[in-house]
């Protein structure tokens, strides 16, 4: 299926040219893929990467919700508008999560019955990958948001990861039902009868593989994802240092190198491409701002895969059939209300 991805190139740490290089790499790898790149004047290097001149960036604005309303010509606003108009099938953001979320709520609106969109990230734990949400969209949440994230994650795991009966857990500071913040304790009580709910897990879950979906607020989720990346990097660097600490170790390191290459690739956050922004009437992918062209290419490929697998639509349908959509309009969460940064 032919897919067009709208890419906001502003806000990336290495600049729009790096995002462009990623877009070219992505379309070169996929003959049915096109990119609409919203960026300050750059030359496209490929006929399936169309550059739309969009120099205004709100990626560094401290209040993204206000900024996207004020700067209608901001690249992230225009990129979401392309999705809303049907000119693109999904969005990849080069800038901040806050701006991508605010502009998405503004441009394509939240999906019917969804309290809060969430960042769903497949965590490449070596033996036991799992889906973490919210990986950073909502700094603070209420219990009912966590409950819906649990259903949203389960639905996504079924339709996009092919796990027929996903085990869903709440992240907490202890496994007992009474452990955690007020919100976690209340969400635990509300989820007790959800099919597949396995209770609370702790940070150890990254190596224990006890859950397929781990649910938390966006503050804790963001800290967890970055802690995993930092720890993996630190240990791999220490292994590398150990492998040069003596002639004997050096010889061992050389012999082991090919086998370790696969591990390094499996843990590489750039190859994972980032996280899906679920719960909007359009699919978004949020990569790290620090990615190189490799990571942006992976993010664009992730967005294309999400379109082909109808991740947004199928997740929403699964949410509906699980009865996990908000029933009555929630006055505190109308379509125009923006979540916390």
The site for a copy of itself (CB under 8 A) is made up of: 62, 96, 125-128, 136, 139-140, 171-174, 176, 178-182, 202-208, 216, 218-220, 222-239, 241-243, 245-246, 248-249, 251-260, 262-263, 266-267, 341
Question: Within 13 A of 163's CA, how many CA atoms are on the CB side?
Answer: 18
CA distances from 239 to 156, 172, 243, 256 (A): 35, 30, 6, 11
Task: Report residue 80 as tokens.
Answer: 């979401």
289: tokens are 């701002």
The answer for residues whose C-beta is within 8 angstroms of residue 213's C-beta and 6 or more apart is 130, 131, 133, 150, 153, 154, 156, 157, 166, 167, 168, 169
Residue with Cβ nearer a copy of itself (67 or 160): 67
Cβ neighbors of 119 (< 8 A, separation 6 or more) are 97, 133, 134, 135, 136, 137, 218, 221, 275, 276, 277, 278, 286
CB of 174: closest distance to a copy of itself in angstroms? 8
Nearest to a copy of itself of 135, 324 (CB atom): 135
Q: Report, in Å, the least distance between residue 83 CB and a copy of itself.
A: 25
Question: Min. distance of Cβ 64 from a copy of itself in angstroms?
Answer: 11
Shortest gap between Cβ of 232 and a copy of itself (angstroms)?
5
Smallest distance, Å, CB 1 to a copy of itself? 35
User: Which of residues 55 and 261 has its CB atom nearest to a copy of itself in the complex?
Assistant: 261
Residue 27 or 65: which CB sits closer to a copy of itself? 65
**Are the CB atoms for 117 and 33 separated by under 8 Å?**
no
Q: How far is the CB of 289 from a copy of itself (least distance, A)?
A: 10
| Nearest distance from C-beta of residue 209 to a copy of itself, angstroms | 9
Query: Which has the closest alpha carbon to 59: 9, 5, 117?
Result: 9
Rounded-to-integer distance, Cα 181 and Cα 151, Å: 20
Contact, 47 vs 33, CB < 8 A? no
Q: Which is nearer to a copy of itself, 20 or 141 (CB)?
A: 141
State the nearest-atom distance from the C-beta of 337 to a copy of itself, in Å. 17
Closest to a copy of itself by CB, 89 or 270? 270
Cα 336 to Cα 102: distance, rounded to the nearest angstrom:
10
Sign of CA dihedral 308, 151, 79, 112: positive
132 or 312: whose CB is closer to a copy of itself? 132
Q: Which is nearer to a copy of itself, 207 or 321 (CB)?
A: 207
CB of 236 to a copy of itself, least distance (A): 6
Q: What is the dihedral of CA 107, 113, 117, 123, to 10 degrees?
A: -140
Phi and psi dihedrals of 125, rounded to 5? -60, 140
Nearest C-alpha neighbor of 86 from the set 314, 305, 281 = 281
Cβ closer to a copy of itself: 247 or 328? 247
CA dist., res. 75 & res. 97, Å (int) = 14
């Amino acid at each position: 299926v032919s897919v067009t991805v709208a890419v906001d190139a502003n806000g990336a740490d290495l600049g729009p040219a790096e995002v462009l290089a990623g877009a070219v790499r992505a379309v070169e790898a996929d003959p049915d893929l096109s990119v609409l790149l919203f960026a300050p004047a750059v030359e496209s290097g490929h006929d399936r990467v169309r550059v739309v001149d969009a120099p205004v960036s709100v990626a560094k604005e401290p209040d993204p919700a206000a900024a996207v309303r004020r700067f209608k010509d901001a690249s992230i606003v225009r990129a979401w508008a392309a999705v809303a108009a049907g000119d693109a099938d999904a969005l990849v953001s080069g800038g901040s999560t806050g701006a991508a979320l605010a502009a998405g709520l503004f441009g394509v609106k939240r999906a019917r019955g969804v309290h809060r969109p969430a960042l769903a990230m497949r965590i490449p734990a070596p033996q036991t990958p799992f889906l973490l949400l919210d990986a950073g969209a909502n700094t603070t949440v209420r219990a009912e948001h966590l409950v819906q994230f649990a259903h949203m994650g389960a639905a996504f795991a079924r339709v996009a990861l092919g796990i027929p009966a996903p085990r869903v857990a709440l992240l907490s500071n202890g496994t007992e039902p009474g452990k955690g913040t007020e919100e976690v304790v209340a969400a635990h009580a509300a989820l007790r009868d959800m099919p597949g709910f396995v209770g609370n897990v702790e940070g150890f879950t990254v190596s224990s593989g006890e859950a397929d979906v781990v649910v938390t607020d966006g503050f804790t989720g963001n800290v967890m994802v970055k802690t995993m990346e930092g720890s993996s990097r630190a240990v791999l660097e220490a292994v590398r240092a150990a492998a040069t600490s003596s002639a004997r170790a050096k010889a061992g390191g050389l012999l082991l190198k090919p086998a370790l290459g696969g591990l390094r690739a499996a843990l590489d956050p750039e190859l994972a491409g980032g996280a899906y922004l679920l719960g909007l009437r359009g699919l978004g992918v949020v990569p790290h701002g620090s990615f190189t062209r490799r990571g942006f290419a992976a993010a664009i490929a992730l967005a294309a895969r999400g379109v082909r697998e109808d991740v947004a639509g199928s997740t929403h349908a699964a949410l509906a059939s699980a009865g996990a959509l908000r029933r009555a309009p929630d006055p505190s969460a109308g379509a125009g209300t923006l979540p916390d940064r």
